[in-house]
Structure formats: structure tokens, C-alpha cells
Amino acid sequence: MICLGIEGTAHTIGIGIVEKSGSKCNILANVSRMYKPEKGGIHPREAANHHVKHFPKILLESIEKADINIKDIDLIAFSIGPGLGPCLRTAATAARVLSLMLKKPIIGVNHCIAHLEIGRALTGCIDPVLLYVSGGNTQVIAFMEGKYRVFGETLDIGIGNCLDKFGREVGLPFPAGPEIEKIARKGKKYLSLPYSVKGMDVAFSGILTACLHLVKKEKLEDICYSLQETCFSMLAEVAERAMAHTEKDEILLGGGVACNKRLQEIIRIMATERKARFFCPPNEFLVDNGAMIAWTGLLMHESGMKMKLEETKVRQNYRTDEVEITWR
Ligand code: ATP
Ligand code: FE2
């Protein structure tokens, strides 16, 4: 069975074409375009316009890459939430059009769960704790008693947002995460920042403010280094607590910030120390992508889930633990 999945929760519009044969996940194509604001943060309507503009091109590109006929597609999946309203509605509209034109079923996928499912499919882990770290989201998710549950999350901004905002203030291009990673490698001096873990939750805005205060006094490389070390240690602490609590021995990374090699190293060390296994899919599947939506759509569809067109209304605040899990 072949599914075309559309991702459009925030700044990325992506199309993935994925084939499922048995339990095997075969990625036929995974194409995306990212909206980069010239200055300031993401403007939801501008991001949506960007998605409208690029959709036709990436649709053709993905079909070409997959080397299929558009009629070979059996299912249309799209990111139904959570995310920015105008972006979500753009992806949903495109999905509805394709579903009607091709006369194929449509299914709306929870974005956070898609990050987890693509990680499971590509790395071979079975029942992991997912540390999902992106621009807008920072969550520790695990499967328990029939649902994916959020064990911990950010109380204010996402970790990626913290990095991007800091980067913007010091003149780094968007997205700043990868730039900060490079600069941090040169840092040597650890500057004390307000490490903030509350139970299994984390908070980043105090650290962001503290870093901005340091800009005039300290070297940028030392600030970037300290920013990463502090935030990533916090994430390791809450991920470890969730593993202990759920008694799971696999940790999986997801979300754009998980591309960071230092974060990967810290989480890997934590896992090794507790004799657990560490998993991380390739970068292309860590960042927002259409393939994860297509794959999760296939899992949902094969387990018997169906959605009427009227049920495809987007859900901006769609929570991970609201999703009915029929495929596990
Ligand atoms: P979501 O909608 O799930 O919140 P998103 O829109 O933020 O996702 P992603 O592609 O998952 O999109 O993540 C983008 C974020 O990842 C940006 O904040 C970016 O700075 C960060 N990022 C990317 N590469 C790195 C890196 N090497 N180190 C740290 N952060 C990174
Ligand atoms: Fe994401």
C-alpha cells in the first residue's frame, strides 16, 4: 500500500511517499521546503503562503522521485495538528483536494506521534521513550496503557525556539540551532545559567534571558557552549526520569534539535549508563517531514481507522494523549 503524506504544521511544507509492505517502511520520496522569515519569528500567514506557493512543485517532484504514477497512491495523509492554524489549513486543503480527485481515503495524523512512529520504523526500536525536541515542541512521550502519554514537557517555549530566539538577538541566521552548535564547539568556559527542571517538566525562557544578559560581558562561544550544556542536561534529566518511571530501556530522539551532535552524545551517555539503548533516525526524518505523516497514516489506516471529509478539520492544540492508538 502506498501513502502520500503532507506535513504542514509550521515552517516546513513536506510531501512523503511511503510504501508499507508487511511491517516494512519503504520511503519512496521525501521532499520539503522550509519557510525562513527574513527577520523576526514565523508569521503564520506568510508561512502558509509559502506552503501554497511550493506545494505544486514538491508534489510533482515527489511523484517523480518515487517513480510512480499518481494513480498508484492508495491513501492521503496530512498533519491535522498541533500547529499554526493557517499552515495546518493549507496542508489539509491540499490533502482534501487530492483525496477527492484521486478518490482515495484521507486520514489526519497527529504530528508529534508521527515523529515517534517514523523513528520506530527506521531505527528498529520497539517501545521507546521519545525525547521530542523541536522549535515549537519539547516533550517526553511514551506509550502506556493504550495511549501515547506526555510525561514531561516545556512549561514555556520549545528548546528550538529558545536557540532560535537567542540566535536572532545576536545576529545569527534562522534557524540558529545549527549555527549555535558550531560556535559552541569553540566554547571552553562554563557560565552558570538558571538550570530549570520541575519534576519532569523543563523551562527555557529564564535561560534565554540570562544568555542575552551575558552577550555584552562574555564570549559568544562560551555562551553558546553553556546554553547547550545547560539545556541538554535538563533534557537528559527529564528523559532519564521518564525512562525510570515507565521502566523502558529504549530512548529515541525526534525533532529538529535532535540533529545536534552534542545532544545526541549526552543522551547516548545517559542511556549507556543505565544500560538502555539509544536510537536516532537520520536528520531528514528528525526535522518535520512528509514521510513521517505518510507512514503514520498507513499504520492508522491498516488498523481500520477511517476519517470522513467532515472529520478532517484541523486541530491546532491537538494533544498527544488525545489520540486513539489502534495500531499497537
Ligand atoms: P514542530 O512543528 O514540531 O515544533 P519545527 O517547526 O520547529 O517543529 P523542526 O524541523 O522539527 O521544526 O525543528 C526546527 C528546529 O530545530 C529549529 O529551532 C532549529 O534551530 C533546530 N535545529 C536544527 N538543527 C539543529 C542543530 N544542529 N542543533 C540544534 N538545533 C537545531
Ligand atoms: Fe515537528
CATH code for the domain defined by 127-282: 3.30.420.40
Distance 139 CA to ligand 1 centre (A): 13
All cell numbers assigned to 299: 499504520
Q: What is the pLDDT of residue 38?
A: 80
Q: What is the pLDDT of residue 37?
A: 85
Q: Does the 2-115+285-322 domain belong in CATH 3.30.1330.40?
A: no
| Residues having CB within 6 Å of any atom of ligand 1 | 9-12, 83, 134-137, 158, 160, 163-164, 175-178, 181, 255-257, 259-260, 287-288
CB of 188 closer than 8 Å to CB of 225? yes
Q: What percent of the chain has pLDDT over 70?
A: 100
190: CB partners within 8 A, 6+ apart: 222, 225, 226, 229
78: CB partners within 8 A, 6+ apart: 5, 6, 7, 8, 91, 92, 94, 95, 106, 107, 108, 109, 293, 297, 312
Q: Which residue's CA lies nearest to atom 4 of ligand 1? A: 136
Tell me the pLDDT tens digit for each residue of 212-237. Answer: 999 999 999 999 999 999 999 999 99
Q: What is the pLDDT of residue 154?
A: 97
Distance 306 CA to ligand 1 centre (A): 31
Q: Count CB neighbours of 79 within 10 A.
A: 33
Distance 106 CA to ligand 1 centre (A): 28
pLDDT less than 50: residues of the chain: none
Distance 103 CA to ligand 1 centre (A): 35
Domain coordinates of the chain in residue numbers? 2-115+285-322, 127-282
Q: Count CB neighbours of 24 within 10 A.
A: 8
Measured in degrees and rounded to the nearest 5, phi and psi for residue 27 equal -85, 115
Q: Count CB neighbours of 23 within 10 A.
A: 8
Tell me the pLDDT tens digit for each residue of 111-135. Answer: 999 999 999 999 999 999 999 999 9
Would you say the CATH fold of 127-282 matches that of 2-115+285-322?
A: yes
| Alpha carbon distance 7, 211 (integer Å) | 33
